[in-house]
Structure 1
Amino acid sequence: MKNLLIISPYFPPVNAADMQRVRTSIPYFAEGNWNAEIVVVDECYTDMNMDNLLSLSVPDAIKVHKVKAFRKAWTSKFGLGSIAIRSLWFYQKKVDRLLESKHYDLIYFSTTQFPVCILGPHWKKKYRVPYVIDMQDPWHSDYYRDKAKRPPKYWFSYRLNKYLEPLAMEQVSGLISVSESYIKDLKARYPVLEQVPSATITFGAFDPDMVIAEQYKGRFRKLLDDRYTNIVYTGRGGTDMHAAISAVFKVLKRGIDENKTGYDRLKFYFIGTSYAPAGQGKPSIMPLARIYGVDKQVTELTDRINYYHSLNTLLQADALFIPGSDDPGYSASKIYPYLLTQKKILAIFNRESPAISILKEHGVDHVYDYQRVQDADIDAFLSDVSAGHHMVQQQNAAAVNKYSARALTLSQCRFFDRLFPCG
């Protein structure tokens, strides 16, 4: 059995989206003949939301090493609030000690806190340990260059990423990505990567989460109004999702104006749409609802909620909505919790998004791209939900198995094995 050292600054109990790959994979690495350990940042150094229930899904036998980070209260004075930047020095010292005391065959960076990846070349050169980077999102990207509305500190982060990304890519031994387009973009930018093994491996559906969600459902405050037929989305918002959402709001407004049965009792919930601290998030969906005149049928809660609170809210919903980004590479790893609920789903993405084929493979009926979706398609979904028709989504068993966390973790293991052709 080979030894795998995973680098993921966020890990349970931290409720961060980019640790979900590791959290749902780590129970299965041993089955693929990889003994996994993980190096994380101690949760006391982050201001992210905590969800202690997430730790229940992590096997007790997994060895978790914790590192420190510089306090954000100090570093933010210089504009450096990133957990990756704040923990970089501590990561180098800690992992140096680990590599000096034990043999590890591979280092696996699985995080969107990408600056930590620049330590890969150091460990490869000093200790001869290869490293793989998991591209859950683009690292350096031109997506916002021509956008009027940009993320905070975009000027700085764009230039920092442009400088750091090539440092990590020059020596990387393998690339995993949730979207094939991310790897294509990297290979176009860095020709050296043409000879580097790569694989597109999505996140997987993790059945144990539904057991935990059901077991602890009494802990969570109910967010939905039973007087309505509730259609729920949980996850980040943003103007990049407006094209997908606008298509729905337009049809909803017309249905209300035409007095279609039950349309006035439909309520859309968008929950946890901002990454800002609690109470400080700015709505990104309600302004759009007001433009279309459906604000009475829409509720946006910007504050993030705990992961299992989110799962329970999806389970309480009458139906689910997954709006995708206008970014063609957007994969929406969040689709798997939605699929686990077996609720009726409306999903609208960019036509290039890999999420479309995955959802269709599962047998989801209402999956569209916003460039070509017809009003009649959305109207059919809203009419069915209003009437309470076919609210359980039957899924293709082969797809359920193919996209399980276990199956996709074993795919990661097989990819790791490719880096050691002599065994």
Structure 2
Amino acid sequence: MPLKYTRTFGIGSLGIRSLPFLQREGDRLLSQQHFDLIYFSTTVFNAMSLGPRWRDRFGIPYVLDFQDPWQSDYYAKTGVKPPGGKFKYSFAQLQAKILEPKAIQKVSHIISVSPTYPEALQKRYPYLSPEQFTVLPFGAPELDFEVLPSLKIQQRIFDPNDGKRHWVYVGRGGNDMALALRSLFLGLQEARHQQPELWQSVHLHFVGTSYAPQGRAEKTVEPIARELGVADLVTEHPYRIPYFEALQVLVESDGILLIGSDDASYTASKLYPCVLARKPILAIFHHQSSVVNILNQCNAGRTLTFKSSDRPEQLLSLIAPQLQWLLSIPKTYQPDTDWQAFQPYTAKEMTRQQCMVFDRCLVPTPIS
């Protein structure tokens, strides 16, 4: 249903607008062709509610892939403003409480990017067994970096030949990242105060921080930079840019920033492209995030960790040396990444594991 009609009634959700049409087209396809398995991999969670319908009508097992939690009490517990505002988020969570139990009840298997999602789902649905879960993060897109030079992409975020050091962050923003951002900018403020001349050539770019369409994106990074007196070092580009242009931004940067949420379950899918860009990485993440373990295990970057209860001032002594390191390394620096340790996170290996999950779902369950 087109937005120009549904917005009249205050409805913009893609899940609501598309659901009857997904159901109709799915019914048609499943009745006319043979399928072995149905795989839902989307954050348009309402679509997952079609799994039980198609299993009952056509006898086809289905797998759900949780890239984010469907039900979440994070914003209620922390008081952080939810995306879209409290009313819209509350309505989305009401739908989740109604539809998630139905979608889960007959699922064959659940894939998730974070180990915390299976824990939460098993608490809500005790009948689920550990064998029904597989934690499978997004795979590292090695092939994309192999073909990138041949595409001759021109990124429009910064000029890599202007003599400056350009540090980049590519990914979403949000109020849940305020602790990491405040820590970073407080560290910048302190470092520049001590050696102002060194920081004249540094600029930080935050790219694609908003999901909102052109003209409606709200900046969440620059206001914090202004508050802490480093706005002249920071530019926020809230709009999303094309995928390969985003990779080119990483490749042409002098350093990559990874900013984490104060939600311990947050797993950044953007981690692997950052590693493959072969640039120095500084990650500021919750100490329980899988990002920390992966970076340390692969020796792909430096990490600064925090707890949800920490204050930016407490991290100042930790972040200052990291910023000095990032500023002091030569432009030609490449991390000494352990590519053998990185191998389990490649797209090829993740695909192999995913296919194993699919195969297991097709083995008939013995009748007891």
- Is the counterpart of residue 407 in structure 1 residue 338 in structure 2? no
Partner of 2:274: 338
Measured after TM superposition, the shift of residue 261 of structure 1 is 6.0
Are the aligned partners of 1:213 and 1:309 in contact in 2 as well (CA < 8 Å)?
Answer: no
Partner of 1:379: 320
- Is the counterpart of residue 149 in structure 1 residue 68 in structure 2? no
Give secondary structure in 1 for the equivalent of 2:205: strand
Measured after TM superposition, the shift of residue 353 of structure 1 is 1.0
Partner of 2:333: 391
Distance in 1 (CA, whole Å) between partners of 2:131 and 2:238 is 41
Q: How does 1:7-406 map to 2 (within 5 A)?
A: 70-146=1-77, 147-152=79-84, 153-194=88-129, 197-224=132-159, 226-259=162-195, 262-371=198-307, 374-389=315-330, 391-406=333-348
Letter aligned with residue 391 of structure 1: Y
Are the aligned partners of 1:175 and 1:196 in contact in 2 as well (CA < 8 Å)?
Answer: no
Distance in 2 (CA, whole Å) between partners of 1:420 and 1:150 is 39
Measured after TM superposition, the shift of residue 168 of structure 1 is 0.6
Letter aligned with residue 342 of structure 2: V
Specify every segment of 5 or more residues in structure 1 that has no aligned partner in the other structure, as ranges: 1-69
1:142-178 deviation line (CA, Å, top 9, x unaligned): 1112425232212211212221111111111110000
Give secondary structure in 2 for the equivalent of 1:267: strand
Give secondary structure in 1 for the equivalent of 2:264: coil
Residues 292 and 222 of structure 1: CA distance in aligned 2, closer, same or farther (over 3 Å): closer
Distance in 2 (CA, whole Å) between partners of 1:316 and 1:166 is 46
Partner of 1:33: none
> Once structures 1 and 2 are overlaid, which stretch shifts more, 367-376 or 80-89?
367-376
Residues 195 and 228 of structure 1: CA distance in aligned 2, closer, same or farther (over 3 Å): closer
Are the aligned partners of 1:247 and 1:370 in contact in 2 as well (CA < 8 Å)?
Answer: no
TM-score normalised by length of structure 1 = 0.79
Residues 261 and 220 of structure 1: CA distance in aligned 2, closer, same or farther (over 3 Å): closer
Distance in 1 (CA, whole Å) between partners of 2:215 and 2:26 is 37
Are the aligned partners of 2:37 and 2:362 in contact in 1 as well (CA < 8 Å)?
Answer: no
1:12-32 deviation line (CA, Å, top 9, x unaligned): xxxxxxxxxxxxxxxxxxxxx
Give secondary structure in 2 for the equivalent of 1:192: coil
Distance in 2 (CA, whole Å) between partners of 1:310 and 1:202 is 20
Residues 233 and 327 of structure 1: CA distance in aligned 2, closer, same or farther (over 3 Å): same
Distance in 2 (CA, whole Å) between partners of 1:218 and 1:235 is 19
Are the aligned partners of 1:263 and 1:382 in contact in 2 as well (CA < 8 Å)?
Answer: no
Measured after TM superposition, the shift of residue 388 of structure 1 is 2.9
Are the aligned partners of 1:107 and 1:129 in contact in 2 as well (CA < 8 Å)?
Answer: yes
Are the aligned partners of 1:107 and 1:132 in contact in 2 as well (CA < 8 Å)?
Answer: yes
Distance in 2 (CA, whole Å) between partners of 1:379 and 1:145 is 33
1:384-406 deviation line (CA, Å, top 9, x unaligned): 33223472112112223211101
More helix by share: 2
Give secondary structure in 1 for the equivalent of 2:204: strand
RMSD: 2.0
Letter aligned with residue 398 of structure 1: Q
Letter aligned with residue 337 of structure 2: Q
1:76-107 deviation line (CA, Å, top 9, x unaligned): 22233222222212222222222222222211
Distance in 1 (CA, whole Å) between partners of 2:280 and 2:350 is 25
Distance in 2 (CA, whole Å) between partners of 1:218 and 1:274 is 23
1:213-260 deviation line (CA, Å, top 9, x unaligned): 322234443434634211100111111111112221111111111116
Aligned residues between the structures: 354
| Percent pairwise identity | 38
Give secondary structure in 2 for the equivalent of 1:154: helix
Distance in 2 (CA, whole Å) between partners of 1:80 and 1:211 is 42
